[in-house]
Amino acid sequence: MTTTPPDPDDEGADAAEGGPDGVDRLLLAEAEAYADRPTAVVDDVSGALVAGLAEVRTFCCDSLVDERVAAAAAPALEAGGWLEPEVFRGARLVVARLPKSLAALDELAGAVAAYAEPDVVLLAGGLVRHLNRSMNEVLGQHFGEVRASLGRFKARALVASGSRPSTASAWPQEEHHAAEDLTVRAHGGVFAGTGIDVGTRVLLGVLDRLPQGAVRVADLGSGNGVLAAAVARALPRAEVQGFDVSAAAVASTRATAEANGLADRVTALRADGLGPVEPRSLDLVVCNPPFHRGTALDRTTTPRLFAQAGAALRPGGELWTVWNSHLPYLPMLRARVGSTSVVTQTPRFTVTRSRVPQSGATWAAGGA
């Protein structure tokens, strides 16, 4: 498989190689003007912020991977829950990487305005080519003054002050989809938000062909919880557990399950893939694999997820996944899971079923 080196202009490219990128360097420089303020950090992808800022009291990261990196860089600090009040209480400076979506920025800004000190300054940085005027407008809903810093390192920061705390959070948001009779609840940073993305819809269309005896089921990369909820409906005996590296996604999966009366059979765990799952313990894994990490294309996650699914499935267990039809995933699935066939295909998306070899064992639904 051909790999492409990180684009040095991509947000997180340098950080992925173990060092601060241009956004980190810009934020560290801009934060010097507020060096005496108690500080909270949000989404430190390299550890440079928690280690380099003077008065950091706590931090939080949506991604469990980022959280581990930041914790290693500043072992004396304790990570807080994602956008939870305790992260921001007492903070007069919040330093954050700008999220990729306006919805995620709205949720972040609302939490800072609601829970931090009244004179808090939110310093949020990103690459110049990822910034747009709408970000200022979103911040302006929660802060009286919003300005942009000078650009450097191909990055720029938005500086928000004069907080306007709201009495109630708008998150998670909710949308009912009549065609699927499914209510979706989602936090700001979750892929597809309260919608149902096109690839997931293709997979939903063949759920009636899932192995009906499957009881122990995982949704790998559960996102807003659409697949987990739909699979639980399609398999009334199944217990479905969503796994996602994102705290916002885990909260969304749980909220969607609750909205559809499935909280007793659909749970969610924040994890880097299927790491917590015992080998050969699952009957079925469903997956709509991610293709990006933040704003950068990620070519490494999907092969690892397929391998984890292959290891977690019992003999005869199945992985059902949907992916962009142009991607070379068929040989990858056959190598990492087992025999793989195409269930359905559109010009854009392919749904496949991969089956772990029996190896002489009998796949008994619900067995030990």
pLDDT in tens, 26-49: 999 999 999 999 999 999 999 999
Integer Cα distance of 92 and 73 in angstroms: 22
How many other CB atoms are there within 10 angstroms of residue 290's CB atom?
Answer: 18
- The reply to whether 150 and 186 lie within a common domain is no
How many other CB atoms are there within 10 angstroms of residue 173's CB atom?
Answer: 18
Question: Could you give phi then psi for residue 14, rounded to 5 degrees?
Answer: -65, -40
Long-range contacts of residues 190-194, Cβ cutoff 8 Å, at least 24 apart: 190/223, 190/224, 190/246, 190/248, 190/249, 190/252, 191/223, 191/224, 191/249, 191/290, 192/223, 192/224, 192/226, 193/101, 193/103, 193/224, 194/224
**Cα–Cα separations (whole angstroms), residue 118 to 95, 142, 205, 329:** 16, 12, 50, 51
In a domain, 363, yes or no: no
- The reply to whether 194 and 332 lie within a common domain is yes
Question: Could you give phi then psi for residue 301, rounded to 5 degrees?
Answer: -70, -45
Integer Cα distance of 37 and 340 in angstroms: 56
- The reply to whether 202 and 125 lie within a common domain is no
- The reply to whether 113 and 261 lie within a common domain is no
In a domain, 246, yes or no: yes
- The reply to whether 131 and 50 lie within a common domain is yes
CATH of the domain at 121: 3.40.50.150
Q: Which residues pair with 93 in a beta bridge?
A: 39, 121
**What's the CA angle centered on 313, arms 312 and 319, to 5 degrees?**
110
Residue 74, burial from CB neighbour count under 10 angstroms (0-12, 13-18, 19+): buried
In a domain, 52, yes or no: yes
Final residue before a domain boundary, out of 144, 163, 182: 163
Final residue before a domain boundary, out of 113, 140, 163: 163
- The reply to whether 212 and 265 lie within a common domain is yes
In a domain, 221, yes or no: yes
Q: What angle in degrees, to the nearest 10, is found between the helix axes of 226-234 and 247-259? A: 40
Q: Give the model's pLDDT for residue 166.
A: 86
What is the extent of the structural domain holding 138? Answer: 13-163
- The reply to whether 100 and 243 lie within a common domain is no
- The reply to whether 212 and 311 lie within a common domain is yes
In a domain, 168, yes or no: no
From the list 331, 367, 329, 332, the residue with the least C-alpha distance to 351 is 329
Task: Name the token pair of 316.
Answer: 């005869």
Number of domains into which the chain is organized: 2
- The reply to whether 157 and 178 lie within a common domain is no
| pLDDT tens-digit series, residues 192-229 | 999 999 999 999 999 999 999 999 999 999 999 999 99
Residue given tokens 């060092």 in the structure block: 19
Per-10-residue mean pLDDT of the chain, 368 residues long, equals: 38 52 96 96 97 96 97 96 97 96 97 97 96 96 96 95 88 96 96 95 97 97 97 97 97 98 98 94 94 52 92 97 94 96 96 88 35
- The reply to whether 19 and 108 lie within a common domain is yes
DSSP labels for 198-247? HHHHHHHTTGGGS-TT--EEEEET-TTSHHHHHHHHH-TT-EEEEEESBH
In a domain, 38, yes or no: yes
- The reply to whether 229 and 294 lie within a common domain is yes
Residue given tokens 């330093």 in the structure block: 95
In a domain, 315, yes or no: yes
Task: Name the token pair of 29.
Answer: 């420089």
Final residue before a domain boundary, out of 134, 163, 192: 163
Q: Give the model's pLDDT for residue 293.
A: 52
From the list 150, 156, 74, 143, the residue with the least C-alpha distance to 108 is 143
Integer Cα distance of 10 and 264 in angstroms: 41
In a domain, 131, yes or no: yes
Task: Name the token pair of 206.
Answer: 């063949």
Integer Cα distance of 189 and 144 in angstroms: 24
Q: Give the model's pLDDT for residue 169.
A: 79
Q: Give the model's pLDDT for residue 168.
A: 77
One-letter amino acid at 323 equals W
- The reply to whether 206 and 322 lie within a common domain is yes
Residue 326, burial from CB neighbour count under 10 angstroms (0-12, 13-18, 19+): exposed
